[in-house]
């Protein structure tokens, strides 16, 4: 399972309250539910550190917010396509085009999630939303038990499958989210077929599981992912969140019950965007330098280290005979779709977007008020080393994508080692830059 506890930043551990303001428990009339008051990110901050303030504002406005909005929007489409697929299967009219549409919606949603992982600090970690929708590797035994459990299957097929998943997911926690859906939609790197989903499962221990039950599970989990990604958007953006996200949450108010501070940041009064843009002793970001370091180290470095040491490293070390006791042969993300290298490259693109101040992964020049231009203005001597390491990591994963072998097929390949080395080098440069900024005086 993803080691999310490593992603929770130390400064939050000490200041986050473990209480929350309970929302209404009456879900019979969701239209009466009032979303908690969560303000927008600060626009005008009184600070002498104007350059850092502008950079942080561009990062939040042009990278974090639109990524979470796109993620939530794509998750709504994913739910729509999976619900339509399940309905068609029930009616006996399921087509390959409907399966393919659900697969494409999955890929679109997955892309935005992976490109958000350079800012997993905040709501995704504090409220454990990351492991809720992205735990891996898939627990095969738990999935078998869930799909063979008549009570659970009936709940997946019930009138409110999202609520059922929210209330009962402790019984199948490790198969929630992207990787449970991936199992239903893909096998051996290909979209599932109509014939496969009309028949019983062929996986070990699952020959009694019907395809229609898998599709019920799929649309139920997709509904839950729709709700959780809406939470991510709302807890970061507050009142600036889209009306569609607010509508989702108004009809699923129960999702707030598990959040710390009712979804607010550590001081209990701000959304996470505002929290990041309000450095003070009370937020844990004591200065703009500390805020910038958080972006470099608490955000970018965290996902960089995970890609190198866990996502790539565990299976590689096992395959090449250098594994430690903590390593695992099956610690491979996205093995059914064969999209591991795509996922990992999207993780590095999330770092590029952060550094460039734009979501254009093909950008060749950073935005005016970007982290890279901030480092340039501050005469950081390691700037070229950082950009070179970023480009090398992206290129190493591009080479791996085009190698003709997916990660699960050849975890011990040389191109995997090349990726580990390149991503590790990027991690080192990110830490150098973040630590250097944190020691500088205001511009």
Tell me what pLDDT residue 205 has: 85
Higher-confidence position of 267 and 364: 364
The separation between the first and the last C-alpha atoms of the chain, rounded to the nearest angstrom, is: 43
C-alpha distances in Å from residue 331, one per residue of 1, 139, 148, 165, 199: 8, 11, 25, 25, 29
Mean pLDDT of 85-112: 98
Nearest to 240 by CA among 6, 27, 391, 35: 35
What would the two tokens of residue 235 be?
């807890």
pLDDT confidence band for 282 (50 / 70 / 90): low
> Is the CB of residue 115 less than 8 Å from the CB of residue 134?
no
- Cα separation, 116 vs 63, in Å, equals 9
Q: Is the pLDDT of residue 24 over 60?
A: no
Tens of pLDDT, residue by residue over 352-369, are 999 999 999 999 999 999
- Cα separation, 197 vs 386, in Å, equals 47
Q: Is the pLDDT of residue 308 over 50?
A: yes
- Cα separation, 133 vs 1, in Å, equals 11
Q: Is the pLDDT of residue 17 over 90?
A: no
Sign of CA dihedral 367, 369, 375, 379: positive
Tell me what pLDDT residue 16 has: 29
pLDDT confidence band for 20 (50 / 70 / 90): very low
Tens of pLDDT, residue by residue over 329-359, are 899 999 999 999 999 999 999 999 999 999 9
Portion of the chain with pLDDT greater than 70, in percent: 89
Name the least confident of 45-49, 230-234, 337-341, 354-358.
45-49
Tell me what pLDDT residue 42 has: 61
Q: Is the pLDDT of residue 286 over 70?
A: yes
Give, as one character, the DSSP assignment of residue 47: -
Nearest to 175 by CA among 150, 143, 223, 222: 143
Long-range contacts of 150-159 (CB under 8 A, 24+ apart): 153/213, 153/216, 153/217, 155/220, 156/213, 156/216, 156/217, 156/219, 156/220, 157/216
Name the least confident of 22-26, 43-47, 157-161, 230-234.
22-26
Mean pLDDT of 286-297: 91
CB atoms within 10 A of CB 37: 11
Residues 282-315: b if buried by 16+ CB within 10 A, e if exposed: ebbbebbbbbbbbbbbbbbbbbbbbbbbbbbbbb
Tell me what pLDDT residue 5 has: 29
Q: Is the pLDDT of residue 132 over 80?
A: yes
Burial of 437 (0-12, 13-18, 19+ CB in 10 A): buried
CB atoms within 10 A of CB 226: 26
Q: Is the pLDDT of residue 267 over 90?
A: no
Burial of 73 (0-12, 13-18, 19+ CB in 10 A): buried
Name the least confident of 57-71, 184-198, 282-296.
282-296
> Is the CB of residue 39 less than 8 Å from the CB of residue 271?
yes
Portion of the chain with pLDDT greater than 90, in percent: 76
Tell me what pLDDT residue 55 has: 95
Higher-confidence position of 365 and 10: 365
Element (H, E) at 242: none
Tens of pLDDT, residue by residue over 365-420, are 999 999 999 999 999 999 999 999 999 999 999 999 999 999 999 999 999 999 99
Mean pLDDT of 33-47: 65
> Is the CB of residue 175 less than 8 Å from the CB of residue 138?
yes
CB atoms within 10 A of CB 414: 10
Largest CA distance in the chain: 67
Q: Is 111 helix (H, G, I), strand (E, B) or coil?
A: helix
Tell me what pLDDT residue 81 has: 98
The torsion region of residue 259 among left (phi > 0), alpha (psi -120 to 50) and beta comes to beta
Domains identified in the chain and CATH numbers: 60-273 (1.20.1420.20), 288-438 (1.20.1420.20)
Tell me what pLDDT residue 8 has: 27
What would the two tokens of residue 203 be?
């996986």
Name the least confident of 38-47, 201-210, 251-260, 321-330.
38-47
- Cα separation, 229 vs 177, in Å, equals 11
Higher-confidence position of 226 and 49: 226
């Amino acid at each position: 399972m993803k080691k999310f506890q490593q992603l929770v930043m130390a400064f939050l551990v000490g200041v986050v309250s473990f209480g929350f303001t309970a929302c209404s428990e009456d879900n019979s009339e969701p239209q009466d539910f009032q979303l908690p008051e969560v303000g927008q990110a600060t626009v005008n901050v009184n600070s002498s550190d104007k350059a850092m303030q502008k950079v942080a504002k561009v990062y939040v406005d042009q990278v974090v917010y639109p990524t979470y909005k796109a993620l939530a929007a794509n998750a709504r489409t994913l739910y729509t396509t999976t619900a339509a697929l399940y309905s068609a299967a029930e009616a006996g009219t399921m087509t390959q085009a409907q399966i393919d549409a659900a697969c494409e919606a999955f890929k679109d949603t997955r892309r935005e999630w992976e490109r958000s992982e350079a800012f997993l600090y905040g709501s995704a970690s504090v409220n454990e939303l990351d492991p809720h929708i992205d735990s891996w590797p898939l627990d095969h035994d738990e999935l078998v038990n869930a799909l063979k459990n008549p009570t659970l299957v009936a709940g997946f097929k019930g009138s409110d499958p999202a609520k059922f998943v929210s209330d009962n997911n402790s019984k199948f926690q490790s198969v929630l989210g992207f990787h449970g859906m991936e199992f239903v939609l893909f096998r051996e790197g290909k979209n599932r077929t109509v014939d496969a989903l009309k028949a019983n499962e062929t996986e070990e221990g699952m020959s009694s599981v019907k395809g229609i039950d898998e599709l019920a599970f799929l649309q139920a989990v997709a509904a839950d992912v729709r709700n959780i990604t809406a939470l991510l958007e709302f807890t970061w953006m507050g009142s600036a969140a889209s009306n569609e996200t607010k509508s989702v949450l108004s009809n699923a108010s129960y999702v707030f019950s598990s959040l710390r501070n009712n979804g607010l940041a550590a001081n209990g009064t701000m959304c996470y965007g505002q929290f990041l843009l309000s450095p003070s002793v009370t937020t844990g970001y004591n200065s703009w330098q500390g805020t910038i370091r958080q972006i470099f180290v608490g955000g970018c470095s965290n996902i960089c280290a995970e890609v190198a040491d866990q996502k790539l490293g565990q299976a590689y070390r096992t395959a090449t005979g250098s594994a430690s006791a903590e390593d695992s042969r099956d610690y491979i993300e996205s093995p059914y779709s064969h999209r591991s290298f795509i996922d990992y490259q999207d993780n590095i693109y999330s770092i590029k977007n952060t550094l460039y101040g734009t979501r254009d992964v093909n950008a060749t020049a950073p935005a005016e008020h970007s982290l890279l231009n901030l480092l340039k203005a501050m005469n950081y001597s390691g700037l070229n080393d950082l950009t070179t390491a970023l480009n090398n990591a992206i290129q190493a994963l591009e080479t791996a994508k085009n190698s003709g072998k997916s990660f699960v097929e050849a975890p011990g390949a040389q191109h995997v080692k090349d990726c580990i080395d390149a991503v590790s080098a990027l991690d080192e440069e990110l830490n150098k830059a973040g630590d250097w900024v944190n020691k500088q005086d205001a511009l």
